[in-house]
Amino acid sequence: MALADSKLKQLLEPVVESLGCELWGLDLQSGGKTKLLRLYIDRADDSIGIEDCEKVSRQSSAILDVEEAITGDYILEVSSPGMDRPLYELAQYEKYVGEDISLKLRFPYEGRRNFKGRLRAVDGDEIVLVVADHEFLFPVEGIEKANVVPRF
């Protein structure tokens, strides 16, 4: 997690929790004049509704503005992580052991950055991913982006 993301998480996590939700993760994207901050909120029973997103959006926006946590113009989006939820932390990976995930590495491994397979285990600060009967061990810090692949 980038330093800016970590500071934003520290600032916003208590706000989200005070509203009865969990801050699943956040993405701050800078491009052009306007930044985009996406907050993913969840609940143990996966019952996030539009009202929850609205409350979290109002409160988070107020805190961000008062603290001047983001310089310049920004857009704030708040949503549920969804079925194809992004994975940010080891505890989240542990929750989805046995599920299919797709991931993009920060740097190529064996000539590629994108992998899709079954998450077999979490070992220390690394994940074990099985792709076509081949096991890969990836450090979580080397993963740029990971998402659960939903089953239908």
What would the pLDDT profile of 12-49 be if each residue is shown by its tens digit? Answer: 999 999 999 999 999 999 878 899 999 999 998 878 99
Q: 32 and 75 in contact (C-beta within 8 Å)?
A: no
Can you give the residue range of the structural domain that contains 26? Answer: 3-79
Residue 84 domain-assigned? no
pTM: 0.89
Q: Is residue 125 part of a domain?
A: yes
The reported pLDDT for the residue numbered 2 is 64
Of 79, 101, 133, the position where a domain reaches its end is 79
Task: Indicate whether 28 and 67 sit together in one domain.
Answer: yes
Q: Number of structural domains, the chain?
A: 2
Residue 115 CB partners (closer than 8 Å, separation 6+)? 102, 103, 105, 129, 131, 136, 138
Q: How many alpha carbons lie under 13 Å from residue 106 in its C-beta half-sphere? A: 9
Average pLDDT over residues 53-67: 96
Q: Which of 79, 113, 137 is the last residue of a domain?
A: 79
Residue whose structure tokens are 């996590």: 13
Q: Is the confidence at residue 150, as pLDDT, over 60?
A: yes
**In the predicted model, is pLDDT for residue 5 greater than 90?**
no
CATH number at residue 134: 2.30.30.100
How far, in Å, CA of 2 to CA of 64, rounded?
Answer: 18
